[in-house]
Amino acid sequence: MRVSQIWRSVFTCSIIYIFMAAAANTSVDANASEKQAPLKASTAASTVDQRSLEELEVLARTGDAGANYTLGVRYAKGLGVSADPIKAFSRMRSAAHQGHPDAQTAVGLYYLFGTGTKASPQDAVKWLSSAATRGNIEAQGILAEIYFYGTGGTAKNRKEALKWAVAAAKQGDPESQYNLAVLYSQDDAKTANHAEAVKWYKAAANQGHLDAQMQVAVAYLEGHGVTPDFNEAYRWLKPLAKQGNSSAQTRLGFMYQNGKVPGQSAGSSRAEICFYRAAKQGNPEAAVQFRRFASENPGFAEAIAAASISTPNNTMTQGEWAMPQLANCE
């Protein structure tokens, strides 16, 4: 679950994503909206984004939700007009009243941040709920977090948070799947459901969500929600470590060190390679392990040109942090 301190950037990105998608292909948004709500069809949905401001205004006056939404996008992003958050909000609100789910989501975010209008958490929840009920994944995911964290004075409500997180996750959104897994795993010891958490971590991981992949690996390492399986843990950690994930490299280092990697005996030199790679990125735990190894194996340390690296807890004076002869941690 994304922490509340970064909500503004998360929601800003959500607005930008919605706007960019609309600007790139308004017909996609219009078609999606028609499936989710009984909107008045645009007379030229596939070309509305290419029309002049005057033509869009004419369409909007006929009650065309897609035209109002596109005008909102234009004013929000300054596409062919001067950016104007007040006009953007006005157009989005018109489209929202006409049942356009993406516009309803945008209006909810405008109210949440007080952009183009006075901030109103209550109105934000109202419009996000309307969009979420119509199946808008973005709105569902945001509502889940609002109820989970109690944002903007909204009362925390685990039941509502779970309801909307499940709705978005079941639509296949990997970020929502990850958030749902975190929600299940962050409950207290009596109510946490680690099996469900792993299920949704896997769903997100299989779609390429890197944080979810790491959590699946940890679950197999520690037996949270699944039977411990070092082969599976290694399978998930290896590609992450190869991509440079320092946490995965450190975990893999300990697996090599303790003989938990298939076909490798305890104390494999690959443990030090993994610790080295992670320490190079400033991972303090890996730095401690590599420093210990270097002090116990002067021949290894001497093979590396003198250099230094600072970490939050240690300053190491052994190691050249771009040593080409060291293999990747994998």
Task: Write out pLDDT tens, residues 222-244.
Answer: 999 999 999 999 999 999 999 99
What would the pLDDT profile of 204-217 be if each residue is shown by its tens digit?
A: 999 999 999 999 99
CB 137 within 8 A of CB 168: yes
Yes or no: say if 292 and 276 are a contact pair by the CB < 8 Å rule. no
Per-residue pLDDT, 293: 82
The answer to whether the pTM exceeds 0.75 is: no
Query: What would the mean pLDDT of 199-205 be, rounded to a whole number?
Result: 98
Predicted local confidence at residue 29, as pLDDT: 35
Cα gap 88→279, rounded to integer Å: 48
pLDDT in tens, 109-139: 999 999 999 999 999 999 999 999 999 999 9
* pLDDT tens string 283-329: 999 989 888 887 877 666 555 533 344 434 444 444 434 343 455 67
For 236, half-sphere exposure in the C-beta direction (CA atoms, 13 angstrom radius) is 25
* In the chain, alpha helices (H): 7-24, 26-36, 53-61, 65-77, 85-97, 101-113, 121-133, 137-149, 158-170, 174-185, 194-205, 210-222, 230-242, 246-257, 269-280, 284-296, 298-302
Q: What is the structure's pLDDT at 192?
A: 81
What was the pLDDT predicted at 120?
95
pLDDT, averaged across the chain: 80
Distinct helix (H) and strand (E) counts, the chain: 17, 2
Tell me what pLDDT residue 305 has: 39
